[in-house]
A and B are shown apart, each in its own frame.
Chain A
């Protein structure tokens, strides 16, 4: 079974600084997908970034990038130049057959 662990229940960062959210997972599969989703206080989940496990290159979307370590089963999210609008719950998820989410990290960006 796949499990997803986010070891940081809460984090805070000053505006314009960089923060890294951790995620580890457990799977016996070789081909799967990894995601980071953001859930702002208004609660609608939106995709931040997606990574295909067979690709070595780390995915990047503007200020958001990942550090994907397949052997270590680690998938951390780096947010550069943090903005107040980045304040939200962040969920790491894996997909093989269906989506499995971690418990989330609550990120607060402080002015």
Chain B
């Protein structure tokens, strides 16, 4: 069974640029969530996709967007990067039988984004 993978591991971008982060869910999982984890803090929920549809969003501006593909891999896109976007970005997948959540989430190792 393949776990959750993320790419790239590290990324350095310049303020104002755009970035795409990728996540491959664990086999058979239909839900993916994305989190931003600033240094020394807990993860903050960005959004969640269930069967390719966004079904939850945290307090993040529209320049944070995402996609979930039929094979349940996922992307997080961030436009107009700001210095405060520097963080570890985590994705987590789960098998949600009803779309209501509450199931164990399996996390990837994260992508460390640095904005200069």
A interface residues with partner B (beta carbon < 8 Å):
4, 32-33, 35, 37, 42-47, 50, 52, 91, 93, 95-104
Report whether over half of chain A's contact residues are helix, strand or loop; otherwise say mixed.
strand
User: Do A45 and B48 have beta carbons less than 8 Å apart?
Assistant: no
Q: Is B8 an interface residue (CB 8 A)?
A: no
Q: Is B102 an interface residue (CB 8 A)?
A: yes
| Chain B residues, CB < 8 A from A100 | 45
Give the B interface residue count (CB, 8 A). 23
For B41, give the chain A residue with the smallest CB separation.
Answer: A103
User: Do A44 and B107 have beta carbons less than 8 Å apart?
Assistant: yes
User: Do B102 and A95 have beta carbons less than 8 Å apart?
Assistant: yes
Q: Is B70 an interface residue (CB 8 A)?
A: no
Interchain nearest-CB distance for B97 vs A (Å): 14
Residues 98-116 of B, flagged 1 when their CB comes within 8 A of A and 0 if not, give 0001101111111000000
Q: Out of A42, A43, A97, A102, name the residue touching B101 (CB < 8 Å).
A: A97
Q: Out of B42, B92, B102, name the residue touching A52 (CB < 8 Å).
A: B102
Residues 20-51 of B, flagged 1 when their CB comes within 8 A of A and 0 if not, give 00000000000001010000111111001000
Complex-state Cα separation, A33 to B98, whole angstroms: 15
User: Do A44 and B109 have beta carbons less than 8 Å apart?
Assistant: yes
Complex-state Cα separation, A103 to B42, whole angstroms: 4
Q: Is B58 an interface residue (CB 8 A)?
A: yes
